[in-house]
Amino acid sequence: MSTYVLIHGAWHGGWCWAKLAPLLEAQGHTVVAPDLPGHGDDATPTERVTLQAYADRVCEVLDAQSEPVVLVGHSMGGIVITQAGEQRPDRIRALVYVTAFLPENGRSLADYADSAEDTLVPPNMVVSEDGTRATVREAVIADAFYGDCSPEDIAWAKSRLVPQAVAPIVTPVRVTPDNFGRLPRVYVSCTRDRAITPEMQRMMLSNLPCDTVCSMDTGHSPFLADPDLLARHLLAV
């Protein structure tokens, strides 16, 4: 049996895995889905939220497990699991990127988002006056994040979104071949994603190949749109 640690993306929280986690647990696996600082039930003030704080939270979770884990990151969570992989390679069996940012050393999420075409998210981000946090315009949230999800799931998810700290978005990851570079990597590509578009996914995979790439015909939230198929992909890791 394996332990899966599931890391959510921007604006979300550990709650987003609610449909997926029971499917993995039903097969006898352990699932941990923490809230990153400033997300979900975590009340860390936005101005104290950094990429390092995210990575440190994940490392705390990894250190608490009895075995190396399958570390899964969705969307912005790809940046987070990359940095955590550098800090705790011995606590990780594999990194899984679920339609996630797949950063090279020295690059930030913003570097990829700013160069993307046809994505609905960067053009519709609204940054606070002090520059510390961002939201997404209400009019595009459903299409950007939940285009193929049920109305009930869309309403449930939208009600739980929180402002996203800007600092983790603009901070480059710092990784080395000896730590992050030795970890097996799996990428779950979502072919109808309008947040991290298929073109952006292909570009990142070209620059930083993964050992395994699998595909889902869903939008940006496969854990809501098709949790059964996503579970099968994760169980195959």
| Two tokens, residue 62 | 């990894």
In the three-class reduction of DSSP (H, G, I as helix; E, B as strand; rest coil), residue 98 is classed as strand
Cα–Cα nearest to 196, from 77, 28, 107, 87:
77
Cα–Cα nearest to 58, from 30, 29, 79:
79
Active site residue 193: yes
| Two tokens, residue 229 | 């198929």
CA-based radius of gyration for the chain:
16
CA–CA gap between residue 123 and residue 163 (Å, rounded): 16
- Residue 190 burial by CB count (10 A; 0-12/13-18/19+): exposed, middle or buried? buried
Active site residue 66: no
Q: Which of 220, 221, 226, 233 is catalytic?
A: 220
CA–CA gap between residue 62 and residue 59 (Å, rounded): 5
Q: What are phi and psi of 126, to 5 degrees?
A: -115, 115
Q: Are 85 and 55 in contact (CB under 8 A)?
A: no
Active site residue 75: yes
Q: What amino acid positions are annotated as catalytic residues?
A: 75, 193, 220
